[in-house]
Structure 1
Amino acid sequence: MNNYGSFFSRLLSYAQSKGVKNTSDLAKKLGYDKPERLYRLKRDPEARPSFEVLEDLTNLFESLNLRWLITGEGQQEITPHEEPEYNMAREPEGVYLTKAQEQEKLLSEKERIIAQQQATIGALNEAYGQLKLRFEEIKEK
């Protein structure tokens, strides 16, 4: 299980992968006057988000998987369930794609992978920072 640390580090990592700059920017996008609700989660790794915060997050990020956000288990995003198409013949998608469409699809996939890797790097940086702080605290004792 790769849970990216605390609830807050998972949240910030995911939000940044969606173009959010920082905690204040996220609070603004959620419609909060002040980012205190989010900073409380940042300060205390054991803090639990309110139902209102979770609801606001799911309204902002429709594909965010709350199970992953809360527990760190599973995928970051949920995929909508597709209705089965009965009695429908399906040809391979690539048969009718133009070169430009193929390149656009490839570019989109590469951008998705880069965003995931950036999220991972952000989470690892956050975890590194937390470990560094703990090490400094231990060293001071």
Structure 2
Amino acid sequence: MTFATNVLSLAGITGFVFLQPDAIPPELKAHDAVWAIKGEGIGSVRVMAADRETTPEAIKAGLFAADSSRCKGRFASGIAPAESNASAFNLFTVCETDEGYATNYVVLKRPAGGHYVLSTVGKTADQVNSSGAAIQRAAVQTVSSR
């Protein structure tokens, strides 16, 4: 939660509230911290420990596979490198249905090994990509200052 709080604050995201375990959606139960931003969506951070043999390629494939399997409509996805850190990358997925959603992921190497996976989920790609870009910059800065 400390890492998430630092990143969200540095990103200028206000009004976030960490969810209690009983309020966390089932697909996010394995995440280390989950927050909601009123009217904007939900976010989370998951710490992938160094002892897990998880490569960036495996993380990408797993995120794309999980999101595409949940989508019951048209699905799109993509990847972009982080702006200022070669050890980070940014992914997005979009599910187009009546209740569609978009997800932005920031994946960043941890100084202690492993990865942080931060996600932002909302109704539109513009919404999540905007907050995702701020979170990406803040996460890179937070990790760099450790």
The TM-score with structure 1 as length reference comes to: 0.31
The structure with more radius of gyration: 1
Task: Identify, as 1 or 2, the structure richer in helix.
Answer: 1
Q: Bigger relative contact order, structure 1 or 2, given CA contacts below 8 A and separation 6+?
A: 1
Which structure has greater strand proportion? 2
TM-score by length of 2: 0.30
